[in-house]
Structure formats: C-alpha cells, structure tokens
C-alpha cells in the first residue's frame, strides 16, 4: 500500500479531522438520550451511564496520553487512528449487541474513547505548528462547530425517518473516515521507522520528574478552569429550563441556541489574527471574564432580547478559550509533555460536564432556574479570579511559569 504523502499545508486535512470528530461528538453526546431511551433505558439510568463515563474519561485521559508519549512503536497519528478504529468497532457492536447490559457497556466505551481522543486531536494540530507546517487552527476548529450543527440537524432527521437505531451506523461511518484522516498526518522525521530523525526541538517524553511536580501550579489552574466549565455546562445542559424562567418555550430555546452557534464562528475564524496581537495566555485569561459575564447577564436578564444578547459572551468566553487553550498548552509544556498537557486540560471539560449536570439537576429541583443561574455565575466568578491570579503578568516560557 502506498504511504500517505507528507503534508505541506495542514489546514484542509485538519479541517476534515475537526469536522469528523465534532460530528461524531454530536451524535454520541447530544443524541445519547434519543438512542438510549429508544433502547429502553430510563432517564436515571442514562444519567448514571453518562456520569460513570465522565469519571472514567477523567481518569484515563492523562494516562492514555502518557502511554502515547512514551511509546516508541506508534506515532501520535497512529494512536489517534487506533482510537478511531476502536470507536468504529464499538459502533458496529451497538448495531448487533442484544440486551441492555451489552448496550450500556458498549455505549460507555464509545463515550470514554471519544473523550480520550480529544487531546490527541488537539496534539495533532499542535504537532503541525511545532513542525512549521502551515495550519490555521481557528478555521479548522470552526469547521468543527459547523459540522456539529450539521450533524445535529441531519441525525435528527435520520432518527425520525429511520429510527434511533440508525445513529450507531452514522457513528461507524464517520469514525471509519477518521482512521485514514489521522494516518494522513505524516511529517518529515515524525517516525523513526521512516528512517529520519525527529526535529531537534522534540524532547524525550518525560525526564523522570513527575508531571504535576514539574508544573507545580497546574492543579489550581485546572481547578479554575473546572469552575468555568461547570458554569458553561450548566448553561448548555439546561437551556429549556432557563427560557421557561422568562415565560418562553422551545422556539425561544431554539433561537438562543442558534445565536450561540453563530457567535462562535467569527472568533474561531479570526483567531490567527488575535494571536498576532497578544499571546494565547492573555486570551485564555480574558475568556474567564466572558464566562463570568455570560452567566451573570443570563441570570439578571429581565427579558428575551437581553438573554439573546448575553450569548455574545459565548464568543469571547467558550469559543475563545477553545482555540486559545490549545496554543497555551503547547507553549506551556515541554515537548515531551504536550500530549499529556492537552489531556489534563481536556479533562477539565469532562469534569465540568459531570459536576455541572449533576449539581445543576439538584439545584433546579430545589432552587429553580434562578438559583441555577446564580450558582453558574458564582462558579464562573471563582474560575475567573483563579485565572487572573495565576496567569497575570507571566509570559516567560519555563515549566514553573503557570
């Protein structure tokens, strides 16, 4: 079989990778209730399944990244393709496995591997940057948002016309397409088997110092980001209850979510310009302010025009953070720690989903949507303060510069 040619411009290929990944993410996460309810699971059982998957993902993301970084037999692109292969096989199994036990185990496997794959996709993009292969990360990541929206619409129609059982087939097709896409990331000197040495800037994967000891201020920074993601996931998990607080219903919720999707794109598309104006560290820190304002304005909104206007902070909050943090981690970590670093930062969203949805459900039952939004504002405020305290005025690269 003829090997993939070495890439000269990574933007088209990485755009395809991001589009496929986020389309798969949409089907597995956003349509989880649609599929699992159709298979006879209760809402409580679905919540437990997603919660356990989140815990396992949070534990395994750094471990899987550490194994991949220390591996001398498989390159990053091959590890990514292997994870995609596992997902494709798991999706096929969903089509044939009988019984709720097998379905639950297989769906949990898919959710866990999906989260593990997240930092690998980020690291493939940063490997392009580190090897001076042209890449517009913001453009590629915006394709992920567009693909997410498109997959949501198409799979909604697919589930209605063909039944929820057709959703695993969509996952199988898209993850199968991910395999050659990941393998196509071939760089000069990327693998020893190709007879070429890696660039001199690449350090060994680990120097014997424990990761968290080397980056000794990483944990409080991650705690701050978890607080931001608790707030964000509360807003994204309970939009219906939020609009109902102002007397709205599904149409108002649809408008709000449409605004959220639209405002994300300009920031992602123009991030390369922003990166020339200030460092990724600055943009990560600034995003914390917008996480706080997003929740706060939604909490205080007296009507729907203000609620819709509050979604502008999604652009300078979550959307800005999503693209900036990948560069921030790449700058922060030594070469042998970058995949592991991406995994630790990806884990914050996983924990945020778990805590945001579980705490949010309890708050809704006992304090209503107003109490829910108040809590989201307070947690985002705590995360913002931690980011400012830890990142302000420190630009010099070194392992202790967090």
CA distance 80 to 120: 6
CB 330 within 8 A of CB 130: yes
pLDDT at res. 199: 43
Roughly how many angstroms between the first and final C-alpha of the chain, as a whole number? 46
User: Domain map of the chain by residue range?
Assistant: 11-186, 212-391
pLDDT at 176 > cutoff 50: yes
Q: In the chain, pLDDT over 90 holds for what percent of residues?
A: 36
Unique residue bearing structure tokens 């931690």 = 386
Name the more confident of 332 and 83. Answer: 83
CB neighbours of 224 closer than 8 A, spacing ≥ 6?
A: 288, 382, 383, 384, 385, 386, 387, 390
CB 295 within 8 A of CB 235: yes
pTM above 0.85, yes or no: no
Q: What is the DSSP letter of 215?
A: T
What is the chain's mean pLDDT, rounded?
84
Q: Which CATH superfamily hosts domain 11-186?
A: MFS general substrate transporter like domains (1.20.1250.20)
CB neighbours of 157 closer than 8 A, spacing ≥ 6?
A: none
pLDDT at res. 400: 52
Structure tokens, 31: 């349509």
CA distance 335 to 132: 14
| Three-point CA angle 339, 345, 347, nearest 5° | 100
pLDDT at 33 > cutoff 60: yes
Give the confidence band of 385 by pLDDT, cuts at 50, 70, 90: very high
Give the confidence band of 203 by pLDDT, cuts at 50, 70, 90: very low
Q: What is the mean pLDDT of residues 211-215?
A: 75
Instruction: Give the CA distances from residue 328 to residues 74, 248, 292, 373, in Å, rounded to whole numbers and listed in that order.
Output: 26, 39, 20, 29
CB 275 within 8 A of CB 320: no
Q: What is the mean pLDDT of residues 363-377?
A: 90
Give the confidence band of 6 by pLDDT, cuts at 50, 70, 90: confident
Q: What is the mean pLDDT of residues 45-68?
A: 82
CA distance 22 to 290: 23
pLDDT at res. 250: 67
pLDDT at 317 > cutoff 90: yes
| Mean pLDDT lowest among 18-27, 313-322, 356-365 | 356-365
pLDDT at res. 204: 42
Q: In the chain, pLDDT over 70 holds for what percent of residues?
A: 90
Highest mean pLDDT out of 32-36, 217-221, 357-361: 217-221
pLDDT at res. 157: 79
- Which among 346, 119, 77 is positioned nearest to 85, based on CA atoms? 77
CA distance 337 to 322: 20
Give the confidence band of 394 by pLDDT, cuts at 50, 70, 90: low
pLDDT at res. 395: 52
**Is the CATH number of domain 212-391 3.40.920.10?**
no
Name the more confident of 382 and 233. Answer: 382
11-186 and 212-391, same CATH topology = yes
Q: What is the mean pLDDT of residues 185-210?
A: 48
Q: What is the mean pLDDT of residues 242-255?
A: 82
pLDDT at res. 194: 41
Highest mean pLDDT out of 70-74, 150-154, 205-209, 303-307: 303-307
Helix (H) or strand (E) holding 18, with range, is helix 11-25
pLDDT at res. 3: 59
């Amino acid at each position: 079989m003829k090997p993939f040619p070495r890439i000269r411009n990574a933007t088209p290929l990485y755009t395809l990778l991001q589009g496929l990944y986020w389309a798969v993410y949409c089907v597995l996460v956003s349509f989880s209730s649609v599929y699992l309810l159709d298979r006879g699971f209760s809402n409580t059982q679905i919540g437990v399944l997603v919660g356990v998957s989140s815990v396992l993902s949070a534990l395994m993301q750094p471990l899987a990244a550490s194994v991949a970084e220390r591996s001398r037999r498989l390159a990053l692109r091959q590890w990514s393709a292997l994870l995609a292969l596992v997902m494709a096989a798991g999706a096929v199994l969903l089509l044939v496995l009988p019984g709720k036990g097998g379905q639950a185990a297989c769906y949990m496997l898919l959710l866990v591997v999906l989260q593990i794959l997240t930092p690998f996709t980020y690291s493939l993009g940063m490997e392009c940057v580190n090897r001076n292969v042209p890449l517009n990360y913001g453009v590629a990541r915006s394709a992920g948002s567009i693909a997410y929206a498109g997959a949501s619409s198409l799979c909604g129609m697919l589930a209605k016309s063909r039944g929820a059982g057709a959703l695993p087939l969509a996952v199988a097709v898209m993850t199968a397409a991910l395999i050659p896409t990941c393998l196509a990331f071939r760089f000069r000197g990327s693998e020893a088997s190709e007879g070429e040495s890696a660039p001199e800037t690449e350090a060994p994967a680990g120097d014997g110092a424990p990761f968290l000891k080397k980056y000794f201020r990483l944990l409080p920074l991650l705690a701050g980001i978890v607080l931001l993601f608790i707030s964000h996931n509360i807003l994204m998990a309970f939009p219906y209850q939020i609009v109902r607080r102002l007397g709205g219903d599904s149409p108002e919720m649809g408008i709000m979510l449409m605004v959220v999707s639209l405002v994300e794109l300009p920031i992602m598309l123009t991030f390369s310009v922003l990166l020339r104006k200030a460092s990724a560290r600055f943009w990560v820190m600034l995003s914390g302010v917008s996480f706080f304002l997003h929740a706060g304005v939604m909490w205080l909104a007296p009507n729907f025009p203000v609620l819709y206007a509050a979604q502008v902070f999604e652009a300078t909050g979550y959307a800005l953070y999503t693209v900036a943090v990948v560069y921030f981690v790449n700058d922060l970590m030594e070469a042998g720690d970058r995949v592991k670093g991406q995994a630790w930062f990806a884990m914050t969203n996983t924990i945020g989903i778990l805590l945001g949805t579980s705490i949010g459900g309890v708050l809704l039952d006992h304090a209503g949507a107003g109490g829910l939004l108040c809590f989201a504002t307070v947690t985002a405020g705590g995360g913002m303060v931690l980011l400012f305290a830890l990142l302000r005025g420190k630009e010099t690269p070194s392992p202790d510069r967090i």
